[in-house]
């Protein structure tokens, strides 16, 4: 096996991955595994999975960070930048173009009809994500309980998303790590489950061989290097934010976008679905940047384009600046808002990888870290369930009341305002993807056409 990968060859592969990265993180990770592990053998299976587990610990899109991490292992900083940027750019340009069209023409009847059909299909996709994540994450009754508590906290009590994640990580650490460590065999099975983990062998890839021969210490963590990375990427990320705050002030829409999405970049554990509810509620109720139904429109755009699903943030950033442009042309303001959103969302991803990558090997088989991750992943199930119900209620009912009971706020949709055709379309979309194994893009396209015809007939 050739123990070298040229940077030009890597660029071609990262470009292809960026153009083909449809289907959300599960599909994107599967694509990278097939292209990098199975076909090209750039990285061994065990190291690929270990790198993925590390990326799961980080805030931000794990698939994009995994590409960045593998690119860094191959060619250092320039390799990580190439892999991470090429994973994002195709989808970013596509969503930006579609968002410009949406902003200018979404009041047109035909455009409204087009998006009407997409919303139920997107709702079905989110519901499928709940079951998919739950099947992989909730391996013990203890983790099921954490998922339930996370859902109750967010759906009924509007608990802050960052608080839910922190508490869940702590409870995961205490339950899944502390208990087996100190109680051993006496630890209840409903907490820790089976402690037997199958070990699978893996043929070494090119990266594994490079690590084994790392005579120059390129992968060795040092304090000097860590401080250099922290300062450099900290300035790249937060420098523009501080500049906007100083020049435009805290109330300007660009400053609000920069501050909000910078904060969100530090709490987006568990992938895009987990943080969408937090972002949507803040963008709709907190800032008034867009309407609940428009959030589903943005998610539909992100679902049908390549790249990380979290790129839906640029849809929000565009509309926020487009509707409060100040002295700028609305489309110019919207484009700048979208680019600013992408900047503060993805710049931290490079910081997390370039700063933490040299220490990844020290995290192998770390029981404490794995316990915290298990708790966070369980909470993500409850958060995504909250997201699906929040989207569903707002998409399928024209009027929604509220019942206040024991400090909780319980949504009370008015059934007379229900969109029964939309509900039927969501159910059929779910059945088509779940049992008929019809692809997501196909379902979105068909539902869009059906919704378009239905609205034009009415």
Tokens describing residue 22: 């449809």
> What distance in Å separates the CA atoms of residue 328 and residue 263, rounded to the nearest whole number?
26
Q: How far is CA 217 from the centre of its chain?
A: 33
pTM: 0.73
DSSP letters along 262-331, please? HHHHTT-TT-HHHHHHHHHHIIIIIS--S-HHHHHHHHHHHHTSSS-GGGHHHHHHHHHHHTS-TTS-HH
Divide the 458 residues of the chain into consecutive groups of 10 and give the mean pLDDT of each group. 76 91 70 85 80 78 91 91 95 90 75 76 79 77 91 86 83 79 69 52 67 65 90 96 95 95 80 69 84 78 78 92 93 96 95 89 66 78 80 80 84 87 91 87 86 81
Q: How far is CA 453 from the centre of its chain?
A: 32
pLDDT at 174: 85
Interval 395-442: pLDDT, tens: 788 788 888 888 888 888 888 888 899 899 999 999 998 899 888 778
Tokens describing residue 280: 């949507």
> What distance in Å separates the CA atoms of residue 112 and residue 117, rounded to the nearest whole number?
9
CA distances from 221 to 150, 246, 266, 408 (A): 36, 35, 23, 48
Task: Identify the three-state secondary structure at position 256.
Answer: helix
pLDDT at 2: 46
Non-local (6+) Cβ contacts of 365 within 8 A are none
Angle, helices 312-322/62-105, rounded to nearest 10 degrees: 40
The answer to whether the Cα torsion of 43, 45, 49, 52 is positive or negative is positive
Interval 28-80: pLDDT, tens: 887 888 889 888 889 887 778 778 767 877 888 888 999 999 999 888 899 99
b or e along 210-224 (b: 16 or more beta carbons within 10 Å of the residue's beta carbon)?
bbeeeeeeebeeeee
Task: Identify the three-state secondary structure at position 105.
Answer: helix
The residues that bridge with 418 in the sheet, in sequence order, are 397
């Amino acid at each position: 096996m050739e123990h070298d990968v040229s940077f030009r060859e890597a660029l071609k592969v990262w470009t292809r991955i960026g153009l083909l990265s449809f289907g959300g993180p599960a599909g994107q990770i599967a694509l990278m595994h097939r292209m990098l592990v199975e076909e090209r053998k750039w990285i061994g299976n065990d190291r690929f999975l270990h790198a993925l587990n590390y990326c799961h610990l980080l805030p931000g899109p794990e698939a994009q960070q995994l590409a960045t991490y593998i690119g860094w292992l191959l060619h250092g900083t320039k390799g990580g930048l190439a892999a991470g940027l090429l994973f994002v750019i195709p989808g970013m340009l596509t969503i930006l173009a579609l968002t410009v069209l949406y902003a200018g023409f979404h009041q047109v009847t035909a455009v409204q009809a087009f998006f009407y059909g997409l919303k139920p299909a997107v709702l079905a996709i989110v519901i499928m994500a709940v079951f998919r994540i739950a099947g992989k994450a909730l391996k013990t009754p203890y983790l099921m309980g954490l998922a339930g508590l996370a859902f109750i906290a967010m759906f009924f009590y509007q608990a802050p998303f960052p608080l839910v994640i922190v508490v869940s990580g702590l409870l995961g650490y205490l339950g899944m790590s502390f208990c087996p460590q100190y109680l051993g065999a006496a630890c209840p099975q409903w907490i820790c489950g089976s402690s037997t983990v199958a070990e699978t062998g893996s043929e070494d890839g090119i990266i594994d061989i490079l690590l084994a021969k790392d005579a120059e210490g390129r992968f060795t963590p040092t304090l000097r290097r860590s401080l250099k990375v922290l300062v450099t990427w900290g300035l790249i990320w937060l420098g523009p934010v501080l500049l906007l705050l100083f020049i435009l002030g805290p109330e300007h829409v660009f400053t609000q976008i920069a501050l909000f999405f910078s904060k969100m970049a530090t709490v987006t554990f568990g992938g895009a679905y987990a943080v969408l509810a937090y972002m949507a509620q803040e963008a709709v109720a907190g800032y008034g940047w867009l309407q609940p139904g428009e959030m589903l429109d943005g998610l539909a755009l992100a679902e049908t384009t390549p790249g990380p699903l979290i790129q839906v943030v640029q849809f929000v950033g565009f509309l926020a600046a487009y509707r409060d442009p100040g002295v700028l042309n609305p489309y110019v303001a919207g484009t700048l808002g979208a680019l600013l959103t992408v900047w503060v969302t993805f710049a931290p991803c490079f910081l997390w990888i370039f700063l933490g990558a040299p220490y990844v090997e020290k995290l192998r088989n770390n029981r404490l870290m794995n316990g915290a991750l298990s708790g966070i992943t369980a909470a993500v199930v409850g958060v995504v369930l909250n997201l699906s119900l929040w989207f569903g209620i707002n998409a399928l009912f024209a009027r929604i009341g509220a019942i206040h009971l024991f400090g909780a706020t319980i949504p009370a949709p008015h059934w007379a305002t229900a969109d029964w055709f939309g509900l039927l379309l969501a159910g059929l979309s779910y059945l088509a993807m779940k049992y008929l194994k019809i692809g997501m893009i196909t379902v979105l396209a068909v539902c869009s056409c059906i919704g378009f015809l239905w609205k034009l007939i009415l």
